[in-house]
């Protein structure tokens, strides 16, 4: 059996090589943990998106409640129906004069 005997410099070189390889592997895992598909940056973006969607859901729930109330008012409250007819259809009660103004164009500076 032949046994190769490494000099202390050879042992050191071999140890540094393994430490370098281990360091590169660790660095690859670290980079993946920070910027990978499921890394820190991606998780932070998902948390931000979830919060944004929750806010949208809350806003839509509020709007839905408001519209549901408006529907109930239109079905049961004659004054709400009258208000809508006056605003959208430009209707009035008998004997009233309805004046409709067209939207005003943006004001022009004097001299034009």
Question: pLDDT per residue over 40-61, tens digit each?
Answer: 999 999 999 999 999 999 999 9
SS3 letters for the chain?
A: CCCCCCCHHHHHHHHHHHHHHHHHHHHHHHHHHHHCCCCHHHHHHHHHHHHHHHHHHHHHHHHHHHHHHHHHHHHHCHHHHHHHHHHHCCCCCCCCCCCCCCCCCCCCCCCC
Res 83: pLDDT: 84
Residue 98 within any structural domain of the chain: no
Residue 2 belongs to a domain:
no
Domain for residue 78, yes or no? yes
pTM summary value: 0.52
In a domain, residue 108? The reply is no
The token pair that represents 3 in the structure block: 């046994």
Q: How many domains does the chain have?
A: 1
In a domain, 3, yes or no: no
pLDDT tens readout for residues 71-81: 999 899 988 88
Percent of the chain, pLDDT > 90?
A: 45
76 located within any domain:
yes
pLDDT tens, position by position, 14-40:
999 999 999 999 999 999 888 888 889
Can you give the residue range of the structural domain that contains 82?
Answer: 19-88
């Amino acid at each position: 059996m032949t046994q190769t005997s490494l000099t202390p410099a050879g042992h050191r070189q071999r140890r540094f090589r393994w430490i370098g390889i281990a360091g590169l592997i660790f660095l690859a895992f670290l980079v993946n943990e920070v910027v990978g598909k499921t890394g820190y940056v991606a998780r932070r973006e998902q948390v931000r998106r979830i919060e944004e969607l929750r806010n949208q859901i809350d806003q839509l729930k509020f709007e839905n409640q408001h519209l549901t109330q408006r529907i109930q008012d239109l079905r049961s409250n004659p004054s709400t129906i009258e208000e809508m007819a006056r605003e959208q259809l430009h209707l009035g009660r008998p004997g009233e004069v309805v004046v409709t103004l067209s939207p005003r164009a943006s004001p022009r500076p004097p001299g034009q």
